[in-house]
Amino acid sequence: MLDFKNIAAQVLNEHIESMSIEEINDNFEVPKYSHMGDLAFPCFKLAKIFRKAPKMIAEELAEKLNKGENFEKISAEGGYVNFTISKAILAKEILVKIKTEKDEFGSSNLGNDKTTIVEFSSTNIAKPFHIGHIRSTMIGNSLYRIYKFLGYDAVAINHLGDYGTQFGKLIVAFKLWGDKETIENDPIPELLKLYVKFHEEAEINPKLDEEARMWFNKLENNDNEAYELWKWIRDESLEEFNRVYKMLGVHFDSFAGESFYSDKMPAVLEEMRSKNIMKKDQGAEIVDLSEHDMPPALITKQDGSSLYITRDLAAAFYRKKHYDFYKNIYVVGSQQHLHFQQWFKIIELMDHEWAKDCIHVEFGTISLEEGSLSTRKGKIIFLEDVLNKATEQTLNIINEKNPNLENKNEVAKDVGVGAVVFQELSNNRIKDYTFSWEQTLSFEGETGPYVQYTHARACSVLKKADSKVELDVDFSLLNDERSVEVIRALNKFSEVIISAADKNEPSIITRYIVDLAQEFNRFYHDNPIITDDKELTKARVLLVDAVRQTIKNGLYLIGLKAPEKM
């Protein structure tokens, strides 16, 4: 496909010798309004060189530049030189590319097989997979797909919370009040009851906390009874979690959780001691980070047992050695900001330059309309219940509006689950939000079902056209305002994906496919696809197919299915 930005840069370079083609290329912007053109070059940096006002420079350049066959207009707007790409050439370039590349449209070899680790979801064993987990799970899943699509050797890791004092608490609770058969019949809810009961009883009897710490210490020291109970709880929990991951279409390359690194901590601790990173403090070991405006980081407790930070350090060193990562991304809530800043700094203090390649992708909190989520108090909404309810409501809508739909149960699942996921990824990830059944299950407005329905509508149009999608069309026929706007939107897709990766922000793609769907529906409203003019019909059918393919690719990148019928 022609690189219009590079072509425009070459045209400008003939009159701006002080800037290289690469520099000019890097300075291009997209005009705020489409009537202003497709590319805008700011002239503000040229003011000192030409000793003129940017507006005057832009006007003089626009008059001098040779637009050639690729641009139908070069004009000045304020301090910018705006380039309008030939409608027919742009239509041909983008529509041929989409038809040729199909499911690969928008992908690239930008990553060039560099390994990028994305750690996400990281649910806690024996605790509910609740609505609060959807943020890390779906943001991470989308980033994993985006990086893979851009040619990175992406690795999806679920750093399970399968270690720590919580297991001491569960072991104590099970031994006091638990029943194995009852738990195996309904693992997570029953384990949650034990966890809640432990905290209720510990408020009355603080000695229970001491007993829990003792059992976790036993687990760290390979006590057989502690290990067997831990393994049983872990296996039962994973079976439950995997059912939800399957509903969400989420894949992991590794489930190496905190426990995996238990035998890898000693080497890291020894290196820290040998480099005088740590010091003793009342029997515990800490890293003093006061020089870096952070509180001290507790690395080992008085009894020698580990903490989250100890295991995170061991995990990072293992991943660097095992994967030699280019990026090591952690999709974890913003509440953990200090935790990540501390141990990233510790790796830096240990003189490992790859500390800069560890990235904390933060996201805001989720709360219930009646208050904050709390596992200890049993105040949660199971994610599986949300997904099932969304699927059930979607099926009710289908039975009302399209009862004879083929595979309606499967479509209901794709659309219902998609509605929940899309709502999660529709806003900037750093924003806090309150979970609402009404908002999540709404099928109107800028929602997942709206975009999926637009895809299904495009599929329906293509079926009605009952003709092969051809590339041998007259692209100059796609010159009306609505067709041009759709083509311009399609042309942005590749850059949108790169931007989403650069900012680790899936909502950029979510916003894009909503805009594309709206643009297509305006085009569909104003332009009959099947007409008496065979050449015009062929051109419009190709455009419809390009929109269908691009929406499908965009939905995939945020973890949604693209139903062909709804």
Q: Which of the following is catalytic: 87, 97, 133, 327? A: 133
Give which of 553, 472, 474, 457 is closest to 513, Cα–Cα: 553
**pLDDT value for 467:** 77
**pLDDT value for 97:** 98
Q: Which two tokens stand for residue 111?
A: 């990553």
Across-strand partners of 297? 287
**pLDDT value for 372:** 53
**pLDDT value for 433:** 82
User: Please, which residues have CB within 8 angstroms of residue 306's CB and are 6 or more apart in sequence?
Assistant: 163, 220, 262, 265, 300
User: Please, which residues have CB within 8 angstroms of residue 373's CB and are 6 or more apart in sequence?
Assistant: 130, 131, 132, 366, 367, 379, 380, 381
- The Cα 415–Cα 452 span in angstroms is 7
User: Please, which residues have CB within 8 angstroms of residue 54's CB and are 6 or more apart in sequence?
Assistant: 42, 43, 44, 46, 47, 78, 79
Give which of 489, 486, 481 is closest to 542, Cα–Cα: 486
Q: Which of the following is catalytic: 5, 97, 130, 360? A: 130
* Residue pointed to by tokens 């959807």: 134
CA atoms within 13 A on the CB side of 501: 25
CA torsion angle for 11, 16, 19, 21 (degrees, to 10)?
10
**pLDDT value for 374:** 53
**Domains of the chain, each with CATH number or no CATH:** 4-85 (3.30.1360.70), 411-427+437-557 (1.10.730.10)
Across-strand partners of 156? 118
199 part of the active site: no
Q: Which of the following is catalytic: 87, 97, 127, 455? A: 127
**pLDDT value for 125:** 87
Backbone angles phi, psi at 154, to 5 degrees: -85, 140
CA quadruple 195, 198, 203, 208: dihedral positive or negative? Answer: negative
- The Cα 445–Cα 424 span in angstroms is 15
127 part of the active site: yes
- The Cα 162–Cα 311 span in angstroms is 11
Across-strand partners of 124? 161
Let me know: does 554 contact 458? Beta carbons within 8 Å. Answer: no
Each residue's pLDDT, cut to its tens digit, for the chain (566 residues) gives 899 999 999 999 999 989 999 999 999 999 988 889 999 999 999 999 999 999 999 999 999 999 999 999 999 999 999 999 999 999 999 999 999 999 999 999 999 989 999 999 999 888 888 888 999 999 999 999 999 999 999 999 999 998 878 889 999 999 999 999 999 998 888 998 999 899 999 999 999 999 999 998 898 888 999 999 999 999 999 988 999 999 999 999 999 999 899 899 999 999 999 999 999 999 999 999 999 999 999 999 988 888 899 999 999 999 999 999 999 999 999 999 999 999 999 999 999 999 999 999 999 988 767 655 555 555 678 899 889 999 999 999 999 999 999 999 999 999 999 999 999 999 899 998 887 777 776 767 789 999 999 999 999 999 999 878 999 999 999 999 999 999 999 999 999 999 999 999 999 999 999 999 999 999 999 999 999 999 999 999 999 999 999 999 999 999 999 999 99
Let me know: does 242 contact 236? Beta carbons within 8 Å. Answer: no
**pLDDT value for 3:** 93
